[in-house]
Amino acid sequence: MLRQLCTSVLFLLLPVVFAFQPGTPTAFVLVGDSTTANGTTVNSGGWGNGFCGSSYNNTPSSLAPDTPCINTAKNGATTGSFVADGSWNISGSWFHHIHEFTPNLPLLVANIQEQVAAGRRTLVTIQFGHNDMKIAPPESMGANLTVMVNQIRTLGAEPVLVTSLTRRTFFANGTIQDLLGPWADETILISQQLGTHLIDLHSTSITYCTKLGPDASHRLNRTPDDNTHLNTNGTIVFGRMVADLLNASFPNELPIIPNPGLTYNETNGIPSY
Ligand SMILES: *[C@@H]1O[C@H](CO)[C@@H](O)[C@H](O)[C@H]1NC(C)=O
Ligand SMILES: *[C@@H]1O[C@H](CO)[C@@H](O)[C@H](O)[C@H]1NC(C)=O
Ligand SMILES: *[C@@H]1O[C@H](CO)[C@@H](O)[C@H](O)[C@H]1NC(C)=O
Ligand SMILES: *[C@@H]1O[C@H](CO)[C@@H](O)[C@H](O)[C@H]1NC(C)=O
Ligand SMILES: *[C@@H]1O[C@H](CO)[C@@H](O)[C@H](O)[C@H]1NC(C)=O
Ligand SMILES: *[C@@H]1O[C@H](CO)[C@@H](O)[C@H](O)[C@H]1NC(C)=O
Ligand SMILES: *[C@@H]1O[C@H](CO)[C@@H](O)[C@H](O)[C@H]1NC(C)=O
């Protein structure tokens, strides 16, 4: 009884104690590949679904209500293809052409411009590597990230570099087979060269998944054998991880709402699912 009472009091107090105090209006725009992307079928999507929230996947948002969060990440994208296929920015007849046939395609530059024009502090997260590693050495991705960061700054927004979410492929001895390391290192190097904020999702997700071990890690996979993509529970877990890393990098500046239970599990290596 007493315990129940304490629990209810705690739950009543939590939102008051930890609620985000409205400050600078802020918007988030996400750029990347399928490990970030907006999945619109059940058990699909990258960490962006857990971060922004998704009605398709019934995932709650990590952000205060009415915070714009636009996920432009694209399945299969590299830093090169994202620009070449027009997802980054396109003008003139191509723009109309794309809109005519795929009216919902979120174009990155247009979304950034809209948020900046509305007077919002606009954070643009950039996470690539999973597909870049299949076609070119890390330096190629790094050169492209540099162009992206500079263009985002020109638009009046703040680029935030994010290292690749780990794959959940394990060696028999319980360590993760990490082929993405050099691409994560390149992302860190560019963030240092250009002075951007860095979200080291690669390292944090490796630490967490190593503590979880293969079985609990694979429960976050889209299908048990798909060590790259996430199911709904995976998007919730890694969306929260990104939210907490962002809050650590911009302490109390962002409209991130707490999820103390999930944060506790993630910082202590406990499986939530
Ligand atoms: C995801 O896509 C759906 C369908 O187009 C859209 O309604 C939703 O706003 C998108 N979510 C994000 C975070 O961009
Ligand atoms: C980087 O962009 C160039 C075009 O500017 C492209 O040729 C190259 O393949 C891209 N690299 C990657 C890893 O996508
Ligand atoms: C891309 O966006 C920049 C900045 O808004 C603009 O100057 C440039 O003309 C655009 N390029 C294309 C191909 O649309
Ligand atoms: C685990 O196994 C892999 C593959 O055999 C090996 O490369 C790695 O060094 C091992 N790690 C540890 C900590 O034993
Ligand atoms: C954000 O970080 C600050 C400083 O560490 C902490 O006090 C606050 O509780 C965190 N907010 C969330 C939503 O986790
Ligand atoms: C945290 O982990 C425990 C144990 O697995 C689980 O019962 C609980 O639901 C998790 N909490 C959250 C908020 O995910
Ligand atoms: C997600 O976790 C819930 C609660 O543990 C479980 O019922 C559900 O089956 C999980 N979803 C998937 C796709 O594993």
Nearest CA to ligand 4 atom 5: 171
Q: Please tell me the least confidently modeled range out of 48-52, 55-59, 222-226, 231-235.
A: 55-59
Q: Is the pLDDT of residue 190 over 90?
A: yes
Q: Is the pLDDT of residue 46 over 60?
A: yes
Q: Is the pLDDT of residue 243 over 70?
A: yes
Predicted TM-score (pTM) of the model is: 0.89
What domains appear along the chain, each with residue ranges and CATH number? 23-268 (3.40.50.1110)
Q: How confident is the model at residue 58 (pLDDT cuts 50, 70, 90)?
A: confident
- Report DSSP letters for 204-271, one per residue: HHHHHHHHHHHHHHHTTBSSTT-SSSB-HHHHHHHHHHHHHHHHHHSTTTS-BPP-HHHHHHHHTT--
What distance in angstroms lies between residue 258's CA and the mean position of ligand 5's atoms?
A: 8
Q: Is the pLDDT of residue 176 over 60?
A: yes
Cβ atoms of residues 253 and 201 within 8 Å? no
pLDDT at 183: 98
Q: How confident is the model at residue 22 (pLDDT cuts 50, 70, 90)?
A: low
Higher pLDDT, residue 170 or 85: 170
Give percent of the chain above pLDDT 90: 80
Mutate to test the pocket of ligand 6, among 211, 240, 262, 265 (most ligand atoms within 8 A of CB): 265
Q: Which ligand is nearest to the CA of 171?
A: 4
> Using a 6 Å cutoff on CB, does residue 233 contact ligand 7?
yes
pLDDT at 86: 87
